[in-house]
Amino acid sequence: MDKKDFTEAIPVADYVGSAKDVATPIKAEILIEALPYIQSLAGKTIVIKYGGNAMINETLRNNVMQDITLLRFVGMRPVVVHGGGPDISNMLDQLAIPSRFENGLRVTDAQTIGVAQMTLVGKTNKSIVAGLQRNGAEAIGVSGIDGGLIRCRRLKRDADGNPIDIGYVGEITSINTDLINMLSEKYIPVIAPIGVDHEEQSYNINADTVAAEVAAALKAEKLIMLTDVPGVIKNHPDGSSEVLYTLVESEVKQLIAEGTISGGMIPKVMGCLETVNAGVNRAHIIDGRIPHSIVLEIFTNSGIGTMIMKHRRPYHPGEILHQIQ
């Protein structure tokens, strides 16, 4: 049907005043709010660490796939780094191989690294690629082994500098950014956190660490860490609490010193801070249990979760960058 036939078949008057047939002002406002972010982030690299409950719950999982696909279709260059600890543990259980952890890291002997590689690369990675492609994206799954994407050595010291021996757990020495950039010209790269040393021995690497190192090496615009927490939370004497939406380096150090940031949140926040200091513009810790959390963080003025920056510099005048009260 050509344009003339269309206008004759459906009179314009049929649309006027019909709330069912036209977009509401609220929907239009949402789209307009997203516009400056689409403009600011077009062509920019966004590294997403995919893990936590958003990998397990099927509805949330599809939300994440839709969000990442949307980023690609509006001109951004998403790069996905995924975890998969539960998948590894389930496979080890099926094989009657015990799981052991030290300081939050999986003890990885020769048998366990084989299972981890098989599970992360052969199952988890390809499942994510398939999910993205079901939503219309072109995605490609790789591990750190492919093209020497992640070079590493055996991890010999913990975060405090103490000697540690937990087997085939790696410490990153280099990232092949040329390979990632080549792949992201056409595809969404999906990276499994397995690296290799100079003798091509495989190592299991913490996915948070891989995502942070990849973002820093690529000088990405954003690093987004999907977690199972709302972000950095400050508790007040009256019993109330709030999520701290925007933090800069001096505030992070202050909050650690006073105990607001503690426990497992410290390495997450410090990893984000190190990434920002390495050249990434913004690092985010967001709650992957919230439907479409990635879209809510990137395309709204207030965002969700905690954003860590070197300096509070808004993308546009309407963006809200909170300060600690």
**pLDDT tens, residue by residue, 106-144:** 899 999 999 999 999 999 999 999 999 999 999 999 999
Averaged over successive runs of 10 residues, the pLDDT of the chain (325 residues) comes to: 40 46 69 92 96 89 96 97 92 92 86 95 96 97 96 88 90 96 97 95 94 96 94 87 90 89 84 93 94 94 90 85 75
Q: Would you say the pTM of this structure is higher than 0.85?
A: yes
Name the strands in the sheet holding 139-143, side by side, starting at the edge strand that comes first in the sequence: 139-143, 188-192, 77-82, 45-50, 222-227, 282-287, 306-309, 246-248
Question: Helix, strand or coil for residue 9?
Answer: helix
Among candidates 3, 11, 120, 139, which has minimal Cα distance to 64?
A: 139
**pLDDT tens, residue by residue, 153-166:** 999 987 778 898 99
With a CB cutoff of 8 Å and minimum separation 6, the contacts of 163 are 156, 157
Phi-psi region at 138: left, alpha or beta (left = phi > 0; alpha = psi -120 to 50):
beta
- Pairing mode, if any, of strands 77-82 and 188-192? parallel
DSSP per position, 150-164: EEEEE--B-TTS-B-
Domains and CATH numbers, the chain: 45-62+77-218 (3.40.1160.10)
- Dihedral sign, Cα of residue 200, residue 201, residue 207, residue 209: negative
- Separation of alpha carbons 41 and 24, rounded Å: 26
Phi, psi of 177 (to 5 degrees): -70, -30
